[in-house]
Amino acid sequence: MKKFKENLPGHIFLLLALSSISALALITGFIVVRGAPIITDVGLKDFAFGMSWAPSLEEYGIFPMIIGTVAVSLGAALIGVPIGICCSIFLSEFAPPFITAIFRPAIQLLAGIPSVVYGFWGLIFIVPFIRDYLGGPGLSILAASIILAIMILPTVISISEVSLLALPKQYKEGALALGLTHWQTIRIVMLPAAKSGIVAAVILGIGRAIGETMAVIMIVGNAVAMPESILDPVRTLTTNIGIEMGYATGVHQEALFATGIVLFIVIMILNATAQYIVSSGKQARGKERQKS
């Protein structure tokens, strides 16, 4: 009895810890059970590469949405990643302390803005701007890419900055001592050495862009069609679920769950890749430390 009492806290914490893991198992299991049948019914090929999504006609092809997701996320990465990496270089290498003291919390705040606010702001400012100056309906791949680029900035900046700051300072000193300029030192020695962390930052940022729903629903147009330019509206995998879940029943609902499976797998692969890259980078650095 005494022993049980002594171990009690451990058991309670184990139980609580299990509940979070079991949530993962429950959700995964549920999505698979509900979504898998339709994939087998329609066939994986027709589901993933089908061009037509028309639940009323029982046509469930999500290829345009896969393209939509890829286009929007790629656009977000193209805009957000260079800005994010430059920002992290600025913060870790160039910014005087008082600037860092303002920038860092500000960037954290950027991560705290609710996505519906991003979407609303995009709808009021970005969408009309694109419509008036670039053409098209405004609700478009470009609009979503811009908003998502801003939304992934905190992830890209903070993870790249951490990986730059984690570099052994001997690298920087060694390069400077050879008469390289500060920028040469960053470009030739520091960025390559921090590569694994920066790549992970980019992947996690893209993962965030793929998974984002609310802001995207509001500005991407949601038309189920193959886009011809970045000014065209598209529908993404997430917005497909977000828009139709309210009224979908039966097979239609299963098709949405199946969309969820596809999303789930893509994001899992991205996260696992990022984890792997980070840990292999750490290992390589650990080996160096052992040696030196």
Residues forming the site for another protein (CB under 8 A):
97, 168, 170-181, 184, 188-189, 192-193, 284, 287-288, 291-292
Report how far Cα 57 is from the mean position of its chain's Cα atoms: 33
Residue with Cβ nearer another protein (103 or 171): 171
Residue with Cβ nearer another protein (116 or 177): 177
**At its nearest, how many Å lie between another protein and the CB of residue 191?**
12
Burial of 251 (0-12, 13-18, 19+ CB in 10 A): middle
Residue with Cβ nearer another protein (97 or 112): 97
The secondary structure of the chain in percent helix, strand, coil, rounded to multiples of 5, reads 80, 0, 15
For residue 280, count other CB atoms closer than 10 A to its CB: 11
Nearest to 160 by CA among 203, 194, 110: 194
Distance CA 28, CA 30 (A): 5
**At its nearest, how many Å lie between another protein and the CB of residue 82?**
23
**At its nearest, how many Å lie between another protein and the CB of residue 160?**
18
**At its nearest, how many Å lie between another protein and the CB of residue 98?**
12
Residue with Cβ nearer another protein (96 or 246): 96
- How far CA 243 is from CA of 106, 111, 238, 265, in Å, comes to 32, 24, 9, 21
**At its nearest, how many Å lie between another protein and the CB of residue 167?**
10
Residue with Cβ nearer another protein (179 or 246): 179
Burial of 242 (0-12, 13-18, 19+ CB in 10 A): middle
